[in-house]
């Protein structure tokens, strides 16, 4: 049966990742922090699915909500409203600082970013969009135009007015202070010198993640986000924060921007909001929403304001609040970081441990002094982890080493984190001793 499964997959599935390969396991079921394969193997999921299942897989409260809601009200004409939609909009607004109070519920992160950029262009009258050179905001037109980490080649010209600015990477700094640390102020000045030299004076928005996940789990330095906002506002643009992966307690705060006390003009949420189901949101101020409405804002989709996933979103908020998962993510994140730093003491290949809460980056290098990238080692460790029962995700970008994005469920236990650390320790040991990465 496994042979026919892979034969059918090879014959009938479009390969949709750049690598062109799927994880070589047939997944039958998932529960909590684990997934089970067709041959009975249990894999610890250190990526929360696609960085989304913050409550773990098949959380009982989510399962109950899906069963109840699907039996009563699942999908409506897009112009109709239901109680779950209005309740979720009200509760999201209550969880956010003023003036964020107007909400649109959509499906994916790309879709919410598409809507946010479209709204910003309409409200400002501009068309230019700034994003980081290591950004990932989605695969639809405007979102893909603002994505630079991969996927740009071969598809023809992007929309005019998209600009990349350099990413402030503290581990691999472009500008340094006298003591060798990242000089993010000079870095930001340089970024906007580049932008101003190319801009036609029509900035609509700057869209960024507070922590770049696909870009290598790069946390923006404290103070950077406020300075970025000021530069964007000075040029007439709006600041859009994409909290697809950082929103809703993963970093130890309800929203990652809270650390910097910076309120975006538009906030987008997705992955974590549905805890694995397709639910996304655009949140903005009443003033921006009114201006967009006055200009005829149109983003009418098949699944806008769907009641089934909105009900799940309400359940996610219930669990996050009742179980105080913001505090749990902060505590578990500190525990995980401590364990990873202990691994770094034993493994010279670990160059850096970074991130916040339960979104952690582990960068592998061939040499700590030169910080020479270790892409092949990252791939080898990923394969060995899977063999040992741990699913990991490694980001591999030019000029960077292999960076593991470690994002366990917020409902993880200390024992599960210990298991992941133990397997990762063994995998790095095995691959380093074999020298497998040097032959790859």
- Residues with catalytic function: 136, 209, 242, 245, 271, 405
Q: What whole-number distance in Å separates Cα of residue 254 and Cα of residue 96?
A: 9
CA-wise closest residue to 135 among 268, 274, 309, 233:
268
Could you tell me the CA-to-CA distances from 320 to 91, 336, 375 in Å, in that order?
12, 20, 36
């Amino acid at each position: 049966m496994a042979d026919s499964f892979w034969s059918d997959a090879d014959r009938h599935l479009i390969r949709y990742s750049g690598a062109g390969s799927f994880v070589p396991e047939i997944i039958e079921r998932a529960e909590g922090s684990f997934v089970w394969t067709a041959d009975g193997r249990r894999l610890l999921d250190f990526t929360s699915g696609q960085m989304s299942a913050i409550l773990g897989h098949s959380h009982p409260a989510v399962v109950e909500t899906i069963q109840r809601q699907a039996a009563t009200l699942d999908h409506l004409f897009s112009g109709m409203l239901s109680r779950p939609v209005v309740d979720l909009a009200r509760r999201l607004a209550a969880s956010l600082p003023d003036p964020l109070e107007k909400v649109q519920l959509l499906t994916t992160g790309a879709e919410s970013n598409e809507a946010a950029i479209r709204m910003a262009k309409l409200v400002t009258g501009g068309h230019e969009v700034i994003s980081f050179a290591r950004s990932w905001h989605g695969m639809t037109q405007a979102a893909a135009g603002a994505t630079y980490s991969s996927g740009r080649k071969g598809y023809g010209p992007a929309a005019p007015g998209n600009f990349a600015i350099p990413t402030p990477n503290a581990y691999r700094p472009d500008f340094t202070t006298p003591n060798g640390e990242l000089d993010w102020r000079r870095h930001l000045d340089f970024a906007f010198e580049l932008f101003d030299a190319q801009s036609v004076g029509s900035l609509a928005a700057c869209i960024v993640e507070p922590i770049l996940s696909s870009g290598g789990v790069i946390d923006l330095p404290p103070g950077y986000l406020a300075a970025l906002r000021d530069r964007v506002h000075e040029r007439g643009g709006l600041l859009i924060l994409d909290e697809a992966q950082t929103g809703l307690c993963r970093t130890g705060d309800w929203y990652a921007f809270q650390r910097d006390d910076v309120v975006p003009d538009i906030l987008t949420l997705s992955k974590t909001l549905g805890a694995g189901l397709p639910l996304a949101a655009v949140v903005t101020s009443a003033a921006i929403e009114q201006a967009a409405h006055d200009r005829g804002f149109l983003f009418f989709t098949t699944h806008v304001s769907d009641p089934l996933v909105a009900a799940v979103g309400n359940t996610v908020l219930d669990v996050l609040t009742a179980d105080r998962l913001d505090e749990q993510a902060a505590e578990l994140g500190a525990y995980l970081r401590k364990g990873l730093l202990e691994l770094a003491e034993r493994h010279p290949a670990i160059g850096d441990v970074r991130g916040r809460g339960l979104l952690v980056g582990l960068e592998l290098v061939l040499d700590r002094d030169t910080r020479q990238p270790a892409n092949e080692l990252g791939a080898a460790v990923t394969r060995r982890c899977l063999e040992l029962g741990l699913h990991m995700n490694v980001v591999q970008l030019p000029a960077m080493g292999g960076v593991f994005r470690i994002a366990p469920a917020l409902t993880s236990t200390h024992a599960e984190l210990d298991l992941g650390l133990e397997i990762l320790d063994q995998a790095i040991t095995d691959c380093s001793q074999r020298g497998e990465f040097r032959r790859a």
